[in-house]
Structure 1
């Protein structure tokens, strides 16, 4: 479905360019490089988010363990 939407949007932009009588903004090779950058950027965001949330969860677990250890040592000192 995504390919059909992409094709339709591209076709619509092509029609808009034709109506405004402007040429494509970039030579084909540069346009393909731009598309590659878009694809890489699209896939980089989930990777970065996964790394960020993995580190956040690790920090949260470490804090919880430290708190439990602190509580455990304070109970042993009072006992």
Structure 2
């Protein structure tokens, strides 16, 4: 749980810094979230198929 809170806090901090410096996010939020979802799914595919094939 602590890891999630730290990750959220760092994300909020980066968002605040972007706002203060008037910097645009490198990717639109939905695109960034879709990319993160893809990373999470990709990390789980190999273990899933390893267990499925056994």
1:40 deviation in Å? 3.1
| Structure with max Cα Rg | 1
Larger RCO, structures 1/2 (Cα 8 Å, 6+ apart): 2
What is the CA RMSD across the aligned residues, in angstroms? 2.1
Provide the residue aligned with 1:2 in structure 2.
Answer: 3
Structure 2 gaps, min length 5: none
**Superposition pairs for residues 1-79 of structure 1, below 5 Å?**
1-43=2-44, 47=47
> Using the alignment, how far apart are the partners of 1:39 and 1:28 within structure 2?
17
1:38 deviation in Å? 2.7
- For these two proteins, the number of residue pairs brought into alignment is 47
Structure 1 gaps, min length 5: 52-79
1:18 deviation in Å? 1.4
User: TM-score of the superposition, structure 2-length normalised?
Assistant: 0.59
